[in-house]
Amino acid sequence: MGETAAVRRASGGSTTRDRVVDAAVLLTGSVGWSQVTMAKLAEVVGVSRQTVYNEIGTKPRLAEAMIQRELERFLVVVSAAFDAHPDDLVAAIESASRSVLEHAQDNPLLHAVVSATHGADTELLPLLTTHAESLLVAAKGVIADRLAPYGVSVGPQRLDAAIDAVVRVVLSHVMQPSAAPAQTAESIAWIAGRVLT
């Protein structure tokens, strides 16, 4: 089966839980969230349905695991961008924004979520609303931590507002791109630079 081979290639030597989450992401992208079942996941991963339940639990727990995994992947990209520009805050923000937007272009789960916002699979919509606040808090926390070494001289309230605005603008472009990632990232960095430097 092609999906099984794709899951095994994508997850390599990872745990059963990782393989189940990988399979769920691939299936969500190919057949839609409403068609993802524990039995189908078991078939694709090559384990029993009970193993899938033991590793994941319920379908809402599976959704949480998928979202958490993708968030972690995006935040790794952000951290790498800041690491690459330790002395230039604007360049770090531009690089982080561009990397997130480029990563989003080929992300199967994100494509499924975006299609849900356009009515293709309304069962995914609760994933957006239920987890949106925790995703924003996590993303803002990482950005706040990464900004600390740059010695930004903006007060805490203004800094929090600036971080919130940048994160929301990036997420807006992730959900509905209006230009190429490099062009959008340059604009976001320009705005952030005006506020933070």
- Running along the chain, 197 residues long, what does each successive block of 10 average in pLDDT? 47 79 88 88 95 92 85 90 96 96 84 58 59 78 92 91 93 88 97 90
How crowded is residue 78: how many other Cβ atoms within 10 Å of its Cβ? 23
Q: What is the pLDDT of residue 130?
A: 61
Q: How far apart are CA 139 and CA 124, in angstroms?
A: 21
Which residue carries 């603008």 as its tokens?
169
Q: Is 45 helix (H, G, I), strand (E, B) or coil?
A: helix
Q: Domain limits of the chain?
A: 2-57, 60-196
Q: Is 16 exposed, middle or buried (0-12, 13-18, 19+ CB in 10 A)?
A: middle
Q: What is the DSSP letter of 182?
A: H
111 token code pair: 């494509």
pTM: 0.78
- Residue 94 near residue 188 (C-beta atoms within 8 A): yes
Q: In terms of CATH architecture, what is 60-196?
A: Orthogonal Bundle (1.10)
Which residue carries 């039995």 as its tokens?
39
For the domain made up of 2-57, the CATH class stated in words is mainly alpha
Q: What is the pLDDT of residue 128?
A: 56
Calculated CA dihedral for residues 178, 184, 190, 195, nearest 10 degrees: 60
Amino acid at 21: V
Residues 6 or more apart whose Cβ sits within 8 Å of residue 170: 97, 100, 101, 188
Amino acid at 41: L
